């Protein structure tokens, strides 16, 4: 009988993103405060006897071959654990694509966790994260989830106390952003305004919401706002509509803001949608549950494993 495992792959935002320097190998050394939010893709993994990895995705422009990070995560585990059975992965995307919310990385993280569960491999989270970093710097964090300080190229992770209760308004402008383009055009000099990451860590420890929001900052905005002034306009609009603060996530183009009231966040979302012809908006809360390993495999059409 075929067995299907259903997983949720959650998006992240960067409450703070600082770039320290460009390393000789071309990677950038970063200091980022990561926060998982309750906006997710669905990933279903089904075993079969084909001996192949196959993919289906609800967005026709996304790859269904080895260019998809899910394919590569499954492939890594199959090869390392000599798994001969075939796997079909169905990806239902809701996280905006190429938007600075780690959608692809989170799908890959769910695939690593799912393969471990499905074949009862007993791989520790630490080992899974070591496989993951070879595929993408943000994937280990997407396995860990929650609130974290991310350093190095994104692989040095320190868990932090969870974000205090709040609501995130997430707005994806019509244009997308290439992470590569943004980093290649980043010029760090004396005029660069670096966010106060240590201050934000202290504010998280004190559960001081305005201490956190007052320190929101992203050095990559200096590149993206120059090419797409609408990013600044959306942030200004969100603040005018009552947000404690607003910021671009990752390398963009998603802009998010923080509210204490869900209603206010939804109202601001409607204003942004109408003013900037936005197609993708969401109001979500922080998500802080780690990936949990479960031994029970679902049969087709049965409930979800991973909450």
| Residues annotated as catalytic (active site), given as ranges | 12, 138
203: left (phi over 0), alpha (psi -120 to 50) or beta: alpha
The residue from 105, 281, 305, 306 that contacts ligand ATP (CB under 6 A) is 105
Helices (H), the chain: 69-80, 103-118, 125-133, 139-144, 179-184, 197-205, 209-213, 221-227, 230-240, 262-276
Closest CA to 183 of 24, 21, 36: 21
Bridge partners of residue 16, in order along the sequence: 33, 217
The secondary structure element, H or E, covering residue 147 is: strand 147-152
The residue from 64, 98, 202, 271 that contacts ligand ATP (CB under 6 A) is 98
Q: Does 150 bind ligand ATP (CB under 6 A)?
A: no
Q: Which is nearer to ligand ATP, 145 or 203 (CB)?
A: 145
Contact segment (CB under 6 A) with ligand ATP among 29-37, 79-87, 90-98, 225-233 equals 90-98
Q: How far is the CB of 216 from ligand ATP (least distance, A)?
A: 17
- Is the alpha carbon torsion for 87, 93, 99, 100 positive or negative? negative
> Cα–Cα distance between 254 and 257 in angstroms, integer?
10
The residue from 104, 114, 173, 195 that contacts ligand ATP (CB under 6 A) is 104
Q: Does 173 bind ligand ATP (CB under 6 A)?
A: no
Q: How far is the CB of 226 from ligand ATP (least distance, A)?
A: 18
Q: Does 102 bind ligand ATP (CB under 6 A)?
A: yes
| Footprint on this chain of ligand ATP (rule: CB under 6 A) | 62-63, 67-70, 91, 97-105, 107, 138, 179, 250-251
């Amino acid at each position: 009988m075929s067995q299907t495992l259903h997983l949720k792959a959650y998006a992240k935002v960067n409450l703070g993103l600082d770039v320290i320097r460009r390393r000789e190998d071309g990677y950038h050394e970063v200091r980022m405060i990561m926060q998982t939010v309750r906006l997710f893709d669905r990933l279903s993994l089904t075993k079969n006897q084909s001996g192949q990895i196959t993919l289906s995705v609800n967005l026709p422009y996304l790859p269904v071959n080895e260019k998809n990070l899910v394919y590569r995560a499954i492939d890594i585990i199959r090869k390392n654990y000599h798994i001969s059975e075939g796997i079909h992965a169905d990806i239902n995307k809701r996280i905006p694509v190429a938007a600075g919310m780690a959608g692809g990385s989170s799908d890959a993280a769910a695939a690593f966790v799912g393969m471990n569960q499905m074949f009862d491999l007993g791989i520790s989270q630490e080992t899974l994260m070591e496989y993951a970093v070879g595929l993408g710097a943000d994937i280990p964090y997407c396995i860990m989830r929650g609130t974290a300080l991310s350093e190095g190229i994104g692989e040095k992770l320190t868990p932090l106390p969870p974000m205090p209760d709040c609501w995130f308004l997430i707005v994806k402008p019509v244009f997308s952003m290439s992470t590569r383009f943004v980093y290649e055009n980043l010029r760090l000099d004396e005029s660069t305004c670096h966010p106060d990451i240590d201050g934000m860590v202290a504010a998280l420890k004190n559960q001081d919401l305005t201490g956190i929001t007052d320190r929101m900052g992203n050095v990559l905005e200096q590149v993206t706002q120059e090419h797409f002034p609408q990013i600044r306009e959306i942030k200004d609009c969100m603040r005018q509509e009552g947000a404690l603060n607003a910021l671009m996530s990752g390398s963009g183009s998603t802009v998010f803001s923080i509210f204490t009231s869900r209603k206010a966040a939804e109202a601001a979302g409607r204003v942004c949608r109408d003013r900037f012809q936005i197609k993708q908006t969401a109001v979500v809360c922080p998500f802080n549950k780690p990936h949990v390993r479960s031994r029970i495999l679902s049969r087709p059409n049965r409930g979800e494993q991973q909450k």
